[in-house]
Chain A
Amino acid sequence: MSVPLTLLGLLEREPSHGYDLKRDYDTFFGRGKPLPFGQVYSTLSRLARDGKVVISDVAPGSGPDRKRYIITDVGATEVEQWLTQPVEPEPHLQTVLFAKVVLALMLDRPAADYLDTQRSAHLHRMRELTEIKRAGSLVDALLADHGLYHLEADLRWIEMTGARLDALRKEVRQ
């Protein structure tokens, strides 16, 4: 799960304070593992350092939450690339896929297309594993099968999600 990219994605909706970002992150992606404030601000300052966000409207007074962050073109390009590129097909990447789908829906991006691209990447990897399975020894075949079954689980999740994008969009955009 990429926290910097997720925060960048959340920023692409609208300029936000660190507190809002943490709240939205926890709502959609935290799931019982809230993001510590310290990590939010350290991540944001790193993003500012790399020129992916800028700070505007420093409100008068003191405290960490005086700053509003705005995404830059560099940051937006990075989010764009991250969303369009399929994740390297490997087991246990549902959470990254999930974050991408939710962000894509929030940002009004073609989430279904991202899922399709991911499906192709998965199937491509599954073909490679199947080839290994057919050509190799039983050990190779069983190892390949292990990967295949996990990828298949991802694919099923992709199918299910793809079929319910409309409902998910309503829920994340209200």
Chain B
Amino acid sequence: MIAFGLRLAVAGGREALTRLVVIAAAVAVGSGLLLTTLAGVNAVNAQLTRYAAVYPNASTAGSADPLWWSTRDDYFHGQQIVRIDVAGTGPDAPTPAGVPSTPGPGEFYASPALRELLAAHPADQLADRYPGRDLGTVGPAGLPSPDTLLAIVGGTPDAVRALPHARQVSNVGDTPALPEATVDLILGVIAGGLLFPVLIFIGTATRLSAARREQRFAAMRLVGATPRQIATVAAVEAAAAAVAGTAVGFGLFYAFRSPLAASRSPVCRSSPPTCRWVCWTSCSWRSACRPARRWRRGSRCAGSGSHRWASPAGSPPPPRARTG
């Protein structure tokens, strides 16, 4: 029966194949969206964590040697440059994320994007803002996005303490921006707002062929297929569509992952691209699925004609003559 079910699903003519492709496509879209979205949530979380690491909260617990920290926004030709001034107060002071060591007074690290900008403009326009020794590049771990313009500049504790927004921090970069409960909430919203319409879409795609499938199963029942045989055939067909769809869904995910990861929009300017993407998809899916909800199944009523048939009623016999 398994072979027979596969035969029906895959080699059942163009129409059967179209049906398989439509359902597989629905499953592919569903699983692709699910994977991409889960990855997106993860990415947003990681990005927000790094973003938070740029603006850490004051924390003094535990460590004897806090780090003085001040984040300021600077602008060059309209572009935002994040400048972090740090000053270690002792050997135990934490090191900012993305750099091998805390820069001392007169030393700095620059992000790759800032490094390019520095090289492209004369020193009196930009580089003079970061005097002293260039220690190297800020690694990806310290950057919310690859094109962030960021500099970590060393100073003396006294000097940094005097800067605006200065605070003492005892740990940097390791606090997740989104608490677990928030991530759960986001996933819940995704499940309701995004996956549910996708499920309806899969359901609709399946239903579109339901009449045809019902006809086929009725025909099979008629010639004596047992409920078990029908169930096996149905399961094999569904599994074929699901397996094919899931495979394509993974393909979609890998195809979408790189463009998503490459979208370079700094988190601090607007909502992250992944968030926007999630919003866009959920809105468009909701409108795409609206007609499906209006779809109603008609019901038929078996009728039976009723005919009244004359029945002889008793009535007095007609008058009659006697002969003889």
A touching B, CB within 8 angstroms: yes
Q: Which residues of A contact B (CB under 8 A)?
A: 12-15, 51, 53-54, 56, 70-74, 76, 105, 107-112, 162-163, 165-166, 169
Measured as residues with beta carbon below 8 angstroms from the partner, the interface class of chain B is 10 to 19
Greatest chain A CB density within 10 A among B312, B321, B322 is at B321
Which among A76, A162, A165, A169 is the interface contact of B320 at CB below 8 angstroms?
A: A76
Chief secondary structure at chain B's binding surface: loop
B310 contact set on A, CB distance < 8 A? 105, 110-112, 165-166, 169
Rounded to whole Å, the gap between the CB of B191 and the closest CB of chain A is 60
Instruction: Report yes or no: A14 in contact with B323, Cβ–Cβ below 8 A.
Output: no
- Interfacial residues of chain B within 277-324, with CB under 8 A of chain A in the complex: 307-313, 315, 318-323
Instruction: Report yes or no: B312 in contact with A109, Cβ–Cβ below 8 A.
Output: yes
Instruction: Report yes or no: B318 in contact with A165, Cβ–Cβ below 8 A.
Output: no
Not counting A71-B321, A111-B310, a sample of 13 additional A-B residue pairs whose C-beta atoms are within 8 angstroms of each other reads A14-B318, A14-B319, A71-B318, A72-B322, A74-B323, A107-B318, A108-B313, A108-B315, A110-B312, A112-B311, A162-B309, A163-B307, A165-B310
A54 contact set on B, CB distance < 8 A? 321, 323
Instruction: Report yes or no: A51 in contact with B323, Cβ–Cβ below 8 A.
Output: yes
The total of Cβ contacts below 8 Å across the A-B interface reads 48
B308 contact set on A, CB distance < 8 A? 165-166
Instruction: Report yes or no: B318 in contact with A12, Cβ–Cβ below 8 A.
Output: yes
Which among B309, B319, B321 is the interface contact of A165 at CB below 8 angstroms?
A: B309
Specify the chain B residue showing the minimal Cβ separation from A108: B315
Q: A163-B307, A166-B308 are in contact. Are A72 and B313 (CB under 8 A)?
A: no
B313 contact set on A, CB distance < 8 A? 108
Rounded to whole Å, the gap between the CB of A108 and the closest CB of chain B is 5
Instruction: Report yes or no: B320 in contact with A73, Cβ–Cβ below 8 A.
Output: yes
Specify the chain A residue showing the minimal Cβ separation from B312: A110
Specify the chain A residue showing the minimal Cβ separation from B315: A108
Specify the chain A residue showing the minimal Cβ separation from B321: A70
Specify the chain B residue showing the minimal Cβ separation from A163: B307
A74 to B321, CA, bound (A): 10
Specify the chain A residue showing the minimal Cβ separation from B308: A166
**8 A-B pairs, CB-CB below 8 angstroms?**
A15-B319, A53-B321, A72-B322, A73-B322, A76-B320, A107-B318, A109-B312, A112-B310
A70 to B321, CA, bound (A): 6
Instruction: Report yes or no: B309 in contact with A70, Cβ–Cβ below 8 A.
Output: no
A15 contact set on B, CB distance < 8 A? 319, 321
Which among A13, A53, A162, A166 is the interface contact of B318 at CB below 8 angstroms?
A: A13
A54 to B322, CA, bound (A): 9
Instruction: Report yes or no: A71 in contact with B320, Cβ–Cβ below 8 A.
Output: yes
A163 contact set on B, CB distance < 8 A? 307
Instruction: Report yes or no: B309 in contact with A112, Cβ–Cβ below 8 A.
Output: yes
Which among A105, A107, A110 is the interface contact of B311 at CB below 8 angstroms?
A: A110
Q: A108-B313, A109-B312, A110-B312 are in contact. Are A72 and B307 (CB under 8 A)?
A: no
Specify the chain B residue showing the minimal Cβ separation from A116: B309
A162 to B308, CA, bound (A): 9
Q: A12-B318, A13-B318, A163-B307 are in contact. Are A72 and B323 (CB under 8 A)?
A: yes
A107 to B323, CA, bound (A): 22
A53 contact set on B, CB distance < 8 A? 321
Rounded to whole Å, the gap between the CB of B283 and the closest CB of chain A is 60
A105 contact set on B, CB distance < 8 A? 310
A165 contact set on B, CB distance < 8 A? 308-310
A13 contact set on B, CB distance < 8 A? 318
A74 contact set on B, CB distance < 8 A? 323
A108 contact set on B, CB distance < 8 A? 312-313, 315
- Interfacial residues of chain B within 200-234, with CB under 8 A of chain A in the complex: none
Rounded to whole Å, the gap between the CB of B177 and the closest CB of chain A is 81
B321 contact set on A, CB distance < 8 A? 15, 53-54, 56, 70-72
